[in-house]
Amino acid sequence: MIGDIVKQTDSWPKNWILVLHDRYGSNSGFLSSLIKNRSQIYISDKPLKIPDDLEKLICSADVGIGLYQSNFKSAIEGKNLAFVGLSSGKLITYLRFGVPVITNEIGQMSDIIRDNKLGQVVTNVSEINPAEIEKIQNCRENCAEYFKEKFDFNRKANQLLEIVSDSIKENIDSNKIMAFNNDSEFHYSLSHTKQIEYYFNLARDIKNSKYYRLGHILYKPHLFIWNNKVTRFVKLVVKKYIRRKQF
């Protein structure tokens, strides 16, 4: 909904600006044509290596905007956008740095924002205006605290690593997985035990096949000193070879 957001800035006071950050840094041409002669809009087109690098950019903002709209032009632009919910890394990153958010109705995340006073849920882009943004500035502390209590992965990292370690040793403990999933205060969960068993067994079967071993040999790290074109060619040949065989 970037086009709608850009047009909305025409009604903003002159002392308010919109910063557009493209995570890949590859859409400068498109964004430049989109903003036309709007002097209140700035483009941040330098990609950053890790989310931590976004801190200065995000913390300088009064609000983080994340709107989603389905157009059903492809599989990923249909229900996948209509019910983004907790998979919106954009909104959760805003919360991590204590910046109030503005979003539309996208499922569970919208309810969380409303119920915990983390920003504003809008039904129309016209509701995004400086007057409303100023009202939600007192949400900043709520945002940082909610992320720390609910979304910070460090709370579950050790527990997950223990499960992964056991799984690699083919010692899948369903009780540990249930304990991980049953934490009602946390929003991460693992797939059903049977699904985990299936994927680990599949990986083991593939690993034992001669075609997997061939691919593993060709993908050894020391081979990456080759010219990039040669490496890509080898990868392509291996992929085509493996596709012709049955594991």
Could you tell me which CATH number the domain at 2-151 has? 3.40.50.2000
For residue 147, give the DSSP letter: I
User: Does residue 222 surpass a pLDDT of 50?
Assistant: no
The predicted structure's pLDDT at residue 29 = 78
Q: Structural domain boundaries of the chain?
A: 2-151, 152-193, 209-247
The predicted structure's pLDDT at residue 192 = 53
What's phi and psi for 14, nearest 5 deg? -65, -20
Q: How far is CA 122 from the centre of its chain?
A: 21
The predicted structure's pLDDT at residue 52 = 81
Contact criterion met (CB below 8 Å) for 136 and 100 = yes
The predicted structure's pLDDT at residue 240 = 52
The predicted structure's pLDDT at residue 147 = 93
Residue 224 pLDDT class (50, 70, 90 cuts): very low
Q: Which has the minimum average pLDDT: 85-89, 125-129, 217-221?
A: 217-221
User: Does residue 6 surpass a pLDDT of 70?
Assistant: yes
pLDDT in tens, 27-84: 777 788 888 888 899 988 888 888 788 888 899 999 999 998 887 777 777 777 777 8
User: Does residue 165 surpass a pLDDT of 80?
Assistant: no
User: Does residue 101 surpass a pLDDT of 80?
Assistant: yes
User: Does residue 228 surpass a pLDDT of 80?
Assistant: no
The predicted structure's pLDDT at residue 209 = 59
- Rounded average pLDDT over 140-147: 94
The predicted structure's pLDDT at residue 239 = 56
The predicted structure's pLDDT at residue 30 = 78
The predicted structure's pLDDT at residue 107 = 85
User: Does residue 151 surpass a pLDDT of 90?
Assistant: no
Q: Where are the alpha helices (DSSP H) in the chain?
A: 2-8, 28-35, 55-59, 79-82, 89-96, 108-115, 130-135, 140-146, 157-168, 174-181, 193-207, 210-218, 228-243
Helix H, strand E, coil C: the string for 68-80 is CCCCCCCHHHCHH
Q: Name the residue among 54, 6, 55 with its Cα closest to residue 31.
A: 6
Q: How far apart are CA 68 and CA 84, in angstroms?
A: 8
The predicted structure's pLDDT at residue 61 = 93
User: Does residue 110 surpass a pLDDT of 80?
Assistant: yes
> Residue 64: beta bridge partners?
101
Contact criterion met (CB below 8 Å) for 110 and 123 = no
pLDDT in tens, 172-197: 677 777 777 777 665 656 655 555 55
pTM for this structure? 0.67
Q: Which has the minimum average pLDDT: 11-25, 26-40, 130-144, 190-204?
A: 190-204
Contact criterion met (CB below 8 Å) for 62 and 137 = yes
Residue 131: Cβ within 10 Å count: 7
The predicted structure's pLDDT at residue 62 = 94
User: Does residue 215 surpass a pLDDT of 70?
Assistant: no
DSSP reduced 3-state for 143: helix
